[in-house]
Structure 1
Amino acid sequence: MNTQNIFVVGLNDFNRARLSRLRGAEHYNFLGVIEPAEVYDTEIFPIEAMVERAGTTLAAFDGHIDAIVGYMDFPVSTMLPLLCERFHTRTPSLESLLKCEHKYWSRLVQREVIGNYIPRFTAFDPFDDDALTVIGQAGLYFPFFIKPIKSSGSRLGFRIDSPEDFTAAIAQLREQIGLISAPFNFILDQAEVPDEVRAVDGGFCMAEEIIGGWQCTVEGYVHEGQVNPYGIVDSLRYPRVLSFLCYHYPSRLPEPIQAKMCELTTTVMRHIGFDNAAFNVEFFWDEVQNRIWLLEINTRISQSHCDLFEKVDGVSHQQVTVDLALGRRPDMPHRAGEFPVAGKFFYRVFFTDAIVSAVPNDAALAALCDDFPGTMIELQTVPGQRLSELPEQDSYSYALAYIWMGADSSDALEENYRRLAERLNFEFTDVAG
């Protein structure tokens, strides 16, 4: 087999190592386009310039471009259709991608086929002084949740319990939403968008009825029009806050609930027309009411889940993205990994702000990985860094480290993490909150 050239937007060493372990990787040449720091370590996305520079890099390549892929949310996910169309590689249409990523448009198309499984919602302009009235006129009352039409991670998402909460959240949105709205509007300008959606651009926000329960993510793909969910990962949060504690695979949800989520996923993705790419859909199961809610759709695999699939199934589900980009049905094994269960844990502090004065050194991290086989630890901060300068954080805490672990059971996994976390030593000065 000839070597196939696969360009990865924002390729870093961490992902290069994972990709090298995929099935058939000996026949792939993975090449980077756009420096990792431009998509991982910043909240400023000059997307028009990034697309132009990526296009220049690809055009200068002296060889055949077999695929262009990425594993990040905005801006990478929205750049891919533009680059793939230009260089004639496989990609879903920009419009089908935006039906997932534009939160208002996505709710509109979801309502057409699975309306009983989505919350009440409305769009509003955060710069409108009467926005709270607009939300009330849509039938939404305290408490409700607000977030930008296009966001990244949990950034600028807020639970609103009172007018005071709304005022405080709006102040942050007005200050920061432009970081996303301007580049996202550039993408919208490249697509054929209905007038109803065009009027709700990246500067708008969503208000939604509060939904909750047991949160999970259905990972799946579409190949030649056939929707294939292949794994469900549970998302566990810290008590009484919105911050994630752990992703756990496989899911511990009841089998009938998992089956229904896969059915809903198939229905909505087929309706959207998304094709020949990976995706994931986030759900809640309200156990008390026995009700399923669709939270949101993402147009890529979750990077956070890569090691979980590798530990449990035997290969990272980056396999899915690469196979689809090369025009093949994905070749994912099932339960062929080293561990029956796996988790990604988020080691957090719940300060308003602080300066990091010390982090665990390499020797301490290596000792932890030796004591807990299969463990990987990725620090998210360095000495001297102010926590408020960390990118891609939620509105309630700061993630200082990501820890991937495998175990023989869920109980063992949780106990191992507890023991490991007790030995992670960070130090801070100028602590607020």
Structure 2
Amino acid sequence: MKKNIFVLGMTAVQLDELRTVDGSENYEFHDLLGYERLVKTTGVDFGELLAEARAELDRFDGTVDAIVTHWDFPASIIGPLLAREHDLPSPSLESLLKCEHKYWSRLEQKVSIPECVPRFASFDPFDDDPLAAVDLDFPFWVKPVKSHSSDLGFEVRDAEQFNAAVAEIRAGIGEIGDAFNEVLDMVDLPPELAGADGNTCLAEQFVTGVQAAPEGTVFAGSYSVHGVLDMHKDAAGTSFERLDYPADSVPAEVQRRMIDATERFLRHIGFDNGAFNAEYMWDEEADKIWLIEVNTRISQSHSELFAHVDGVSNHTVAIDIALGREPRMPHRKGEYAVASQCMIFHDEDALVTKIPGRRDKESIAERYPGTRLTLQVTEGDRLSELPHQDSYRYIIGKLYIGARDRAELQKHYDEIVAGLPFEFAPVPGGEDAS
């Protein structure tokens, strides 16, 4: 009998990746809640979503054998809560929140891996003078303690920029913060979090360097890392432009330090029976690593890259853990030596008037084997109204590329992007768009 595996907000792309795992013929994959309902939305009613998910599982005429999630909040919390209710492996809610709540996470990191933690401070964006609570020199980052991706995250270089960022944060923080407070109410918070609820912000020291991301699992107390990826930012240093696997911009010894620090932190917070990916910055001149954040799941942005290089997607380990098995990943069994997820950006607000069609995608796949184009926009979209975009530029598509080496990978990317038939129109009443 096939195992029933429920995947929160499952997309067609994820389903294709899930089918790359060994033994997938023995699994039946079921979408839970749906992508449109769970992910492609700006407002979150946590209690309502949790109730809907419970009802879907209760109506299912069969066994619930595994529950998997790869999305950020609220899916990152709903999945483990449901797994616990069905006696399936999952991390504790407290350990999840010690990663999800950015200020709480920094406090726990300061205890367990202080050498990797930038200076930070929490502040209430609704205070009359929020800057007074920030004992950091400019420039620094400000962000809500819980948000989607880079939503409402700003680099501020003076008081004027800080005040402008706070004004924007005030207008939007409640969309996620109010829902996050529902989850915080489920646990006993430590005294040091008094006043630091889901609508609080974090200011952090500005750090620079080369960014890399170890990804792995903790299962029944056993810690393992199955890969490290390069995270390349654009020339402005504000947006991620490319994810490359395997990493080569950071020396193996530095990668090992990142892996070891992540283990110390996860063991300190009691994280177990879950997957993770951690993001670090390496300051080569000072030979210092900075922990940016730890996410309590595999990264689906990495999935196709692992499939290209190692032979199966990282969904393999997520499924193993969800089914209560020791997670295992093959190593370098794929068709390509390197792989990359490359972002396609548009730098100004605009209306999307034309996007690549089915034939364009097929032509790319035929001309460049191991390459796939996915779109983040549809015709008629206004870029500034898209959910979960960062505050600097808009992602309109992504290219997943497998190649023999990095030179070939860059060549394919440049050629493909130059020929993509995107078209845009100015926003009515706004500046010209190109």
TM-score range, shorter chain: over 0.9
> Is residue 297 from structure 1 mapped to residue 294 from structure 2 by the alignment?
yes
Cα distance in 2 for residues equivalent to 1:60 and 1:111: 45
Match of 1:54 in 2: 53
Match of 2:380 in 1: 384
**Aligned partner of residue 401 in structure 1, secondary structure:** strand
Task: Choose from 415, 420, 430 the match for 2:416.
Answer: 420
Cα distance in 1 for residues equivalent to 2:265 and 2:118: 15
Contact map agreement 2:88 2:324 (CA 8 A) in 1: no
Deviation at 1:196, TM superposition (A): 1.9
Match of 2:82 in 1: 83
Superposed CA offset, 1:16-67 (max 9, x none) = 1111221111111111110111223112111110100110111122222111
Contact map agreement 1:227 1:269 (CA 8 A) in 2: no
Match of 1:43 in 2: 42
> Is residue 367 from structure 1 mapped to residue 366 from structure 2 by the alignment?
no
**Aligned partner of residue 104 in structure 1, secondary structure:** helix
> Is residue 342 from structure 1 mapped to residue 339 from structure 2 by the alignment?
yes
Cα distance in 2 for residues equivalent to 1:114 and 1:307: 31
**Aligned partner of residue 200 in structure 1, secondary structure:** coil
Match of 2:21 in 1: 22
Match of 1:213 in 2: 209
Using structure 1 for the length normalisation, give the TM-score. 0.97
Cα distance in 2 for residues equivalent to 1:381 and 1:142: 35
Match of 2:264 in 1: 267
Contact map agreement 2:95 2:271 (CA 8 A) in 1: yes
Of 362-371 and 151-160, the range deviating more from structure 2: 362-371
Cα distance in 1 for residues equivalent to 2:20 and 2:365: 20
Deviation at 1:198, TM superposition (A): 4.5
Task: Choose from 313, 325, 343 the match for 2:310.
Answer: 313
Cα distance in 2 for residues equivalent to 1:35 and 1:315: 24
Root mean square deviation, CA, Å: 1.1
Contact map agreement 2:275 2:318 (CA 8 A) in 1: yes
**Aligned partner of residue 211 in structure 2, secondary structure:** strand
Match of 2:173 in 1: 177
**Aligned partner of residue 126 in structure 1, secondary structure:** coil
Cα distance in 1 for residues equivalent to 2:236 and 2:61: 54
Deviation at 1:122, TM superposition (A): 0.8
The AA in structure 1 aligned to 2:97 is L
> Is residue 248 from structure 1 mapped to residue 247 from structure 2 by the alignment?
no
Contact map agreement 1:21 1:315 (CA 8 A) in 2: yes
> Is residue 238 from structure 1 mapped to residue 234 from structure 2 by the alignment?
yes
Cα distance in 2 for residues equivalent to 1:377 and 1:415: 16
Aligned length: 428
Cα distance in 1 for residues equivalent to 2:194 and 2:160: 31
Deviation at 1:113, TM superposition (A): 1.6
Contact map agreement 1:229 1:266 (CA 8 A) in 2: no
Superposed CA offset, 1:165-186 (max 9, x none) = 1111011100000001111001
Match of 2:66 in 1: 67
Cα distance in 1 for residues equivalent to 2:368 and 2:38: 31
Match of 1:328 in 2: 325
Deviation at 1:294, TM superposition (A): 0.4
The AA in structure 2 aligned to 1:118 is V
Contact map agreement 1:4 1:27 (CA 8 A) in 2: yes
> Is residue 204 from structure 1 mapped to residue 200 from structure 2 by the alignment?
yes
Deviation at 1:81, TM superposition (A): 2.6
Deviation at 1:365, TM superposition (A): 2.0
Cα distance in 2 for residues equivalent to 1:41 and 1:217: 25
**Aligned partner of residue 350 in structure 2, secondary structure:** strand
Deviation at 1:199, TM superposition (A): 2.6
Match of 1:147 in 2: 143
Using structure 2 for the length normalisation, give the TM-score. 0.97
1:280-295 paired onto structure 2 within 5 Å:
280-295=277-292
Cα distance in 2 for residues equivalent to 1:427 and 1:3: 46
Shift in alpha-carbon separation, 1:198–1:92, aligned structure 2, 3 A = farther
Of 30-39 and 294-303, the range deviating more from structure 2: 30-39
Contact map agreement 1:38 1:45 (CA 8 A) in 2: no
Task: Choose from 273, 276, 279 the match for 2:276.
Answer: 279
Cα distance in 2 for residues equivalent to 1:107 and 1:27: 41
Match of 1:109 in 2: 108
Cα distance in 2 for residues equivalent to 1:99 and 1:227: 18
Contact map agreement 2:9 2:38 (CA 8 A) in 1: yes
Cα distance in 1 for residues equivalent to 2:10 and 2:354: 28
**Once superposed, which parts of structure 1, at least 4 consecutive aligned residues long, lie more than 6 Å away?**
none
Cα distance in 2 for residues equivalent to 1:89 and 1:223: 13
The AA in structure 2 aligned to 1:255 is A
Match of 1:127 in 2: 126
**Aligned partner of residue 426 in structure 2, secondary structure:** strand
**Aligned partner of residue 85 in structure 1, secondary structure:** helix
Contact map agreement 2:20 2:307 (CA 8 A) in 1: no
Deviation at 1:212, TM superposition (A): 1.8
